[in-house]
Structure 1
């Protein structure tokens, strides 16, 4: 059966000569086939490593690292912003977040003259409101945009504090050294909103006591940016495709855009934080990921995590990693999801600087295989609603 499937997929493979191999990108990353990576860079509080592997026909994961001034005032505060946006149903929402969320954060930081959980929450809400306005404008011509959404994981390091905000099932994991044993423990910092988790199912049921089917939806997450058709009843109708629409009308929004936000005062024994979309965590546990980062050189950490996840994905399908790498985007989604990883190392000497201390501004976005507008990538496969 597997050999037959592989024969079918070979029709969608690109010749090696057509692949993008180690070409430089505008923001300093490198492209190797469907893998984009930046092995090492410097942010306000230490070093970082980024990697993205594309599985979907169009890359639905978007990501960014912004370091330097976190407001529109030159006085700061200064720090590091990390964003991982795992889109579903298409790339529109995750791209919108990538273009707008950090700018909203800078605006609210300027207005409130400092970083806070309230600033981050307002930035999320402004991004949600902006995307709703976009959907409203585009609905008559492009109704399917109402069924596009994105998870949204953000980390902000400012003045020795790490803020973590999350919608959906991406995850932030801290690597913390234990002096007594020398080991590095994995500590999950983000709360996930996945209906596979019992507490999330209970939350959904308590919010919708009259709907016995609330957790039987295809949509596996309970919070997101976008997914307007599950938040505003007026978008749950024609001309949206029937496969997206709910049969029963709803009076309350089914999904929420209210992020879970936590604050962590960073300590000298806090070594690094792994921010990643669920494509990584489907194949690696928190501790396995932390061990991989801890036991190897810092440079290339994110790429190493992605490669290990792909090796696990290949093993689950009883195929070789080398064969998996030959499968092109679109078809590749049958084997694994888009995967985004950003590893942020924490330098305690740099962390002790005041947030008003100026540093160079850095802005970098995770890359992918890009095509000219209006050219369809081969072997397009439709994305199921809610598949993150």
Structure 2
């Protein structure tokens, strides 16, 4: 593995010398649960538009792992707002502990409304989001809008927990809201010829045709559950879920695993801003 990591470092140095952000931590409820994240600026001319949350927090009598990736577009302000406000809004919901899925949906709607009200301040851009809440190391609740993705590994097998909200898959929904999906040769399908995802926060000029309703998946954590990956689409454009799982399944350090996934995506010529979180569960 040491030789492989050296090779990845050589490839990355040759391909990209952008600024990075990285870090790690562990749960107080179990010393076996650790997390690490890594971000790297892509080849675009604009500022870095990805933001992450990766932390454990004691709330009432529960230990919560709060993990999220926010992939901004047309500016970074909406993604930054989500980083500082979305989990707060989720945990403020009175029915979070009794009807968690419903509380998350309400908090997503509330946060999107706040962003739209602040459009003059935050700009015309938007952001995708994938959030994961690990409750006492036993229950995982994943929600997402857009194409950042959550994948869990059980006994070496990858399972996607999020939904890629692609305009081509939600064409009827977009048309029912009065919009259209363009599909020009050499380009990806886009909402109103502009946005390459069918759901997002913000994007005030498109919001009448664009949903911010999250898909939600609940997964119980058992002895067969090894780790979770959250990553922006810059990684998933160049590797499959199983390829990502296979790449890091023998790496014990969560931060090193997150970095290796980004290194591999860069070696495969991904040019997007990239962010990745890995949560090791055993």
**Normalised by the size of structure 1, how large is the TM-score?**
0.60
Q: Distance in 2 between matches of 1:222 and 1:152?
A: 12
Structure 2 residues not aligned, in runs of 5+: 1-16, 183-189
Structure 1 contact 77–114 (Cα < 8 Å) conserved: no
Rg larger in 1 or in 2? 1
The superposition leaves residues 150-203 of structure 1 with CA deviations (integer Å, 9 ceiling, x where unpaired) of 0011001114211110000000011110xxxxxx1111110111124xx32344
The superposition leaves residues 60-81 of structure 1 with CA deviations (integer Å, 9 ceiling, x where unpaired) of 00111131224xxxx2332111
Question: Which of the numbers 45, 51, 64 marks the counterpart of 2:38?
Answer: 51
Structure 1 residues not aligned, in runs of 5+: 1-31, 178-183, 232-252, 314-334, 348-388
- Residue pairs, 1:173-184, within 5 angstroms: 173-177=151-155, 184=156
The superposition leaves residues 344-387 of structure 1 with CA deviations (integer Å, 9 ceiling, x where unpaired) of 1124xxxxxxxxxxxxxxxxxxxxxxxxxxxxxxxxxxxxxxxx
How far apart are residue 230 of structure 1 and its match? 0.7
Q: Distance in 1 between matches of 2:181 and 2:158?
A: 37
Structure 2 contact 96–104 (Cα < 8 Å) conserved: no
Structure 2 contact 179–192 (Cα < 8 Å) conserved: no
Question: Which of the numbers 214, 217, 240 marks the counterpart of 1:262?
Answer: 217
Structure 2 contact 179–191 (Cα < 8 Å) conserved: no
**Normalised by the size of structure 2, how large is the TM-score?**
0.82
Q: Distance in 2 between matches of 1:165 and 1:274?
A: 14
- Seen in structure 2, the aligned counterparts of structure 1 residues 311 and 77 have a Cα distance that, compared at 3 Å, is same
Q: Please, what is the CA RMSD of the aligned residues?
A: 2.2
- Residue pairs, 1:150-165, within 5 angstroms: 150-159=127-136, 160-165=138-143
Question: Which of the numbers 90, 109, 119 marks the counterpart of 1:105?
Answer: 90
Q: Distance in 1 between matches of 2:240 and 2:258?
A: 15
Q: Distance in 2 between matches of 1:216 and 1:105?
A: 30
Report the counterpart of residue 312 of structure 1 in structure 2: 268
- Seen in structure 2, the aligned counterparts of structure 1 residues 41 and 256 have a Cα distance that, compared at 3 Å, is same
